[in-house]
A and B are shown apart, each in its own frame.
Chain A
Amino acid sequence: MTTYDIIFYLFAAVTLVSAFLVVTNRNIVHAAFYLLFTFFGVAGIYVMLGADFIAIVQLIVYVGGILILLLFGVMLTNKITSVDIKTGTIHLLPASIVLGLFSGALAAIILNTNWTQVETKTAEGTTAALGNLLINEYALIFELLGILLLIAMVGAASLARR
């Protein structure tokens, strides 16, 4: 068991335990804070996969942006004074059974497939190569995503102000 394996299992445990707490916790604010640890764990898994730039983007966008947005959503849609930040649940048993079977089937497929793997090299920085791809081969998608973000921002602002 190498150091890589130990660190991997650490990040995997952080991710899965906190994700489990997110989906089982009835208090939405607590769930949002557990989601923080899930995102940190996923960022760690990205680093284990040699994707350093994606990991940093994950931290900035998810932890710094989406999570704050979700917390704002929680705060703005609950009567803070009457402390009603619990969430109800429906379909607990059917969902558990169906998703247990579903993930079991997926896991069986993945474990029984003979994946061809190339030999992995030691990880290098990916930022420069990603930047090159973004402004050369993927320039159109890059621009379209910029326009999409602008439209989403204007749309969200105009929807929320109505």
Chain B
Amino acid sequence: MIHVGLTHFLVISIVLFALGLYAVITRKNAVMVLMGIELILNSANINFIAFSKFGNFGLQGQLIALFVIILAAAEAAVALAIVLNIYKTVANINVDEIDSLKD
């Protein structure tokens, strides 16, 4: 049994990223797409913090992860406001049916 190291954390981050992208691609509901984006941001954060621990970078990786969390909060607030507006306008938030800007 090998000791837990950098690669273990990177593999977890890959799987989380793939699952998040899967949610973004396959779900119709806009809120589910947002959940997928949160998963992707979390996987990026795991990468930053893993390299901050196992590389020789001090605390800068953790600081960037903190900034990512802040940006994720701002993004979620604005995105949900947009989703609510879309719901008020067309009474549905399925991303494949909101195509009134097409032609």
Contact = CB atoms under 8 A, between A and B. Distances in A.
Contacts of A83: none
Contacts of A69: 76-77, 80
Nearest to A79: B91
A92 B23 CA distance: 10
Contacts of A138: 63
A90 B69 CA distance: 29
Interface residues of B, number: 71
Given A89-B28, A133-B59, A160 B66 contact: no
B25 interface: yes
B36 to A, nearest CB: 7
A62 B17 CA distance: 17
B73 A88 contact: no
How big is the A interface, by class? 35 or more
Contacts of A92: 26
Contact of B84 (A76, A96, A153, A155): A76
B98 interface: no
Interface string B4-16: 1111111110111
Among A23, A107, A126, max chain B CB count under 10 A is at A23
A72 B101 CA distance: 27
A42 B46 contact: yes
B87 A77 contact: yes
A95 B18 CA distance: 10
Interface of A: 1-2, 4-5, 8-9, 12, 15-16, 19-20, 22-23, 28, 31-32, 35, 38-39, 42, 45-46, 48-51, 53-54, 57-58, 61-62, 65-66, 69-70, 72-74, 76-77, 87-92, 95-96, 99-100, 102-103, 106-107, 110-111, 115-118, 120, 126, 129-130, 133-134, 138, 141, 145, 148-149, 152-153, 155-157, 159-160, 162
10 contacts: A35-B39, A46-B49, A51-B49, A54-B62, A92-B26, A99-B21, A99-B25, A103-B17, A103-B18, A149-B70
Given A77-B83, A111-B11, 16 more contacts: A5-B3, A12-B8, A20-B19, A35-B38, A38-B39, A49-B9, A53-B66, A57-B66, A61-B69, A89-B26, A99-B21, A117-B55, A118-B56, A152-B74, A152-B75, A156-B78
